[in-house]
């Protein structure tokens, strides 16, 4: 099916960045212009707005245009959703952060998010029904931009207790196309539970191997400024978008709509990204692989994509017979444009093929 290319608005993110942002505590975020990079702390990444290809393109004769769940341009608002656990570092009042965003004119909503600290949704505009006090329910779709926010002390502790790898793996499994990783209080790497070199390497791996856009901010005000600018920019960029619920066969109708985007509903996002107590066999296999030294969530995901279970991997090893072939079987697996490599391939082969270790 033909996928319509999204036309970005003439206004750029830099125009928003040049605005001086005054927060309600009297402080201001620095004005920065120029193209965004992974090491700047004010300009948001330019959203790569292309029609989603994650929905399976299939010729499902049972699906008709009437079955599609569609929001036409102008029929929805872009909202920033804040996780209920998000708060300012110097106060336990979780509503402070939302008040700062609202004071700058950002439409927000606070909800419990199973994955991520911030995300953006397209929420349907609904009109009141005569005789009813409550508004009818709105349809909501999650944009492919989800933010994980870490202060430096939290990043260090999450690496030590394993949350860092586990969260990155869950992001990979959900299929979010534009995950964003905000590292707050960047520059204060001393006096943490891990060496500065370890923290720097983790930040680099998050971008290069994990595929995250890494945003480095100096403090909470800089983080809020970034979220405000991203909200404004996405609101403009999706002005002419037609949002269609992601489902099998839906992309076959993309040519019939102007600037279509195939997005999952908020309910579906929560179901997919929920941290289940009962893991699937594939998820358990991936978590098992993460215990291998040098194994990142991205590398584990690449392996379990080809071999979803331990039995699948063992069967492939048995087909190769010779230990030399087993040791090199995984080395050419693609991990975001790079190969897994012979060293890790050999380690995994020894783990699953040898009866003893010396």
Catalytically active residues are: 83, 86, 117
Burial class (CB in 10 A: 0-12, 13-18, 19+), 12: middle
Q: Tell me the C-alpha distance between 204 and 192, whole Å.
A: 18
SS (H, E, C) the chain: CCCCECCCCCCCHHHHHCCCEECCCCCEECCCCCCCCCCCCCCCCCCCCECCCCCCCCCCCCCCHHHCCEECCCCEEEEEEEECCCCCCCCCCCHHHHHHHHHCCCCEEEECCCCCCEEEEEEECCCCCCCCCCCCCCCEEEEEEEEEEEEHHHHHHHHHHCHHHHHHHHHHHHCCCEEEEEEECCCCCCCCCCCHHHHHHHHHHHHHCCCCEEEECCCHHHHHHHHHHHHHHHHHHCCCCEEEECCCCHHHHHHHCCCEEEECEHHHHHHHHCCCCCCCHHHHHHHHHCCCCCCCHHHHHHHHHHCCCHHHHHHHHHHHCCHHHHHCCCCCCEECCEECCHHHHHHHHHHHHCCCCC
């Amino acid at each position: 099916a033909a996928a319509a290319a999204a036309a970005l608005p003439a206004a750029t993110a830099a125009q928003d960045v040049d605005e001086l942002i005054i927060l309600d505590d009297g402080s201001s975020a620095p004005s920065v212009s120029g193209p965004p990079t992974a090491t700047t702390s004010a300009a948001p990444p330019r959203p790569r707005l292309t029609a989603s290809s994650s929905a399976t393109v299939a010729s499902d004769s049972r699906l008709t245009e009437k079955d599609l769940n569609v929001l036409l341009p102008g029929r929805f608002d872009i909202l920033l959703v804040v996780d209920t656990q998000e708060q300012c570092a110097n106060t336990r009042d979780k509503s402070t952060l939302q008040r700062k965003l609202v004071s700058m004119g950002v439409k927000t909503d606070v909800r419990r998010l199973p994955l991520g600290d911030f995300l953006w949704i397209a929420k349907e505009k609904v009109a009141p029904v005569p005789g009813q006090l409550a508004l009818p329910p709105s349809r909501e779709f999650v944009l492919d931009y989800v933010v994980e926010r870490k202060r430096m002390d939290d990043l260090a502790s999450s690496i030590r207790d394993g949350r860092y790898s586990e969260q990155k793996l869950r992001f990979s499994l959900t299929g979010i196309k534009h995950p964003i990783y905000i590292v707050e209080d960047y520059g204060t790497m001393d006096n943490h539970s891990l060496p500065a070199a370890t923290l720097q390497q983790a930040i680099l791996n998050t971008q290069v191997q994990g595929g995250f856009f890494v945003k480095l901010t100096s403090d909470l005000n800089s983080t809020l400024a970034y979220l405000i600018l991203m909200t404004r920019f996405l609101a403009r960029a999706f002005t002419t978008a037609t949002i269609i619920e992601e489902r099998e066969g839906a992309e076959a109708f993309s040519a019939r709509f102007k600037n279509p985007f195939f997005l999952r509903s908020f309910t579906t996002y929560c179901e997919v990204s929920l941290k289940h107590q009962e893991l699937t066999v594939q998820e358990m296999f991936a978590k098992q692989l993460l215990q291998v030294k040098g194994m990142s969530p991205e590398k584990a995901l690449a392996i379990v994509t080809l071999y979803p279970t331990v039995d699948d991997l063992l069967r492939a090893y048995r087909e190769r017979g010779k230990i030399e072939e087993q040791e090199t079987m995984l080395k050419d697996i693609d991990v975001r444009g790079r190969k897994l490599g012979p060293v890790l391939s050999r380690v995994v082969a020894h783990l699953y093929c040898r009866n003893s270790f010396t």
